[in-house]
Amino acid sequence: MSSTDTINALLCGVSVVRRIQFDCELRTGRCTLQLDLVDDGVRPTQRRVLRAEGVTHWNVAELGGGLTQLCDLHVSDVSHLQHDRVRYLLEERERGALRLWCALLSVEDAPLDP
C-alpha cells in the first residue's frame, strides 16, 4: 500500500474537526497545518491528528458555525508535477472546504480525552 493509500485509509471515518492550528515560522516562511479530527462530535471513539508541513496555497472556505466537518478528505501524490518542495495535495472533495499543497504529510492515532 502506498503512503497516500495509508493516509487516506486513516482519514476515513474521522471528519469532525476538533481543532485547526496553522503556524508559520516567520524567519523561514515554512508553514504547518495541524488538524485534530474525531469520528463523532458527541461521543468520539476515534481521534486522529493530521500534520501537513511545508504548506503552500492553503484555501479554506465554509468552516465553523456549529459542528464543523471535513467530509471526504483525500490525499494525492503530486510529486510528478515537479513543484519545488511540494509532494502532496490535500483536499476536501465534498464541498471544497479545504485545499492545500505540502511537502510532508502524516496522520497519527491520538488518545481520546477522558
Write out pLDDT tens, residues 53-80. 999 999 998 787 788 999 999 999 998 8
What does the alpha-carbon distance between residue 16 and residue 67 come to, in Å, rounded to a whole number?
7
Q: What is the pTM of this model?
A: 0.91
Average pLDDT for 35-49: 96
Structure confidence at residue 2 as a pLDDT band (50, 70, 90): low
> pLDDT at position 62, please?
79
Residue 54 within a domain: yes
Domain containing 66 equals 3-109
In a domain, 114, yes or no: no
pLDDT (0 to 100) of residue 84: 80
pLDDT in tens, 72-110: 999 999 988 888 889 999 999 999 999 999 999 999 999
pLDDT recorded at residue 81: 85
**Number of compact structural domains in the chain:** 1
pLDDT above 90: percentage of residues in the chain = 82
Q: What is the pLDDT of residue 4?
A: 94
Domain assignment present for residue 84? The answer is yes
Q: Say if 71 falls within a structural domain.
A: yes
